[in-house]
Amino acid sequence: GTTNPVGEKTRVMIYTCGFVCVLLFMCLMSIAGYVIVTMFEAFARSHRMERLTKGYCAMVFWFIMLTAYLFLFSWMYHFVVLSRSDSLHVTEDNNDFERDLWVNYQMLTTIGLGDEYPNQVLIESTDLFAFGLVSLFGYVTLATFLNKSCSVCAPYFHDGLTLEELLEEKMEKLMSSTSESKNESREEYIDDCDDEASQLHNCRIEVADKSNGNDTVEIEAVSVVTRWL
């Protein structure tokens, strides 16, 4: 519903910034999708539903979730927003569920976004908040479904590792490097303790030499060394 920019500088700024915003939005959605998928997989494993996290079962499950989102948002758009046209006496063309489903599909895929939009009189502030949350869930569901589909179809196109296998390999390398660093720090700590113990032992000998036969000082120094070792 907005007018197209006319000036050259305005076009460069709006179109370039709009493209960058789309990329940043996709990065944010990928992070949110990873968090949601991790939470769901942990829930599925704890309730003995691991089949929903792997292979074709995961792809079919997230496809069902995506379809449920499309119908849920279309139902909200149709019955919550457009039903106000009767009470407010606002005429709305093509007020049917099929049209609302296509509007939701356009918004989810960002193809033809803005070509169709509801009357501004029918939109309230609570609708913007509710529709925003539901839309974010839809974007995350779509990204997760595409990710699972790529993981299932990838082995049929090349002989390399799948996405899950690559992630597991990266995690194993990370864990091995972390354990090696811990072992190195432990060896350095043991070397430092040995150096301090040898210095304390030399101090005991020096105190015993300066005491001129005083057994009390030597016994105290020896007891300190014994406790340290």
Can you give the residue ranges of every domain in the chain?
Answer: 8-160, 177-228
Taking only the tens place, the pLDDT of each residue in 62-84 is 899 989 988 888 888 777 776 77
pTM of the model: 0.55
Taking only the tens place, the pLDDT of each residue in 149-201 is 887 877 766 556 666 676 777 778 877 777 666 666 666 656 666 565 555 55
* 59 pLDDT higher than 70: yes
The per-residue b/e assignment along 5-44, b for 16 or more CB within 10 angstroms, e otherwise, is eeeeeeeeeeeeeeeeeeeeeeeebeebbeeebeebbeeb
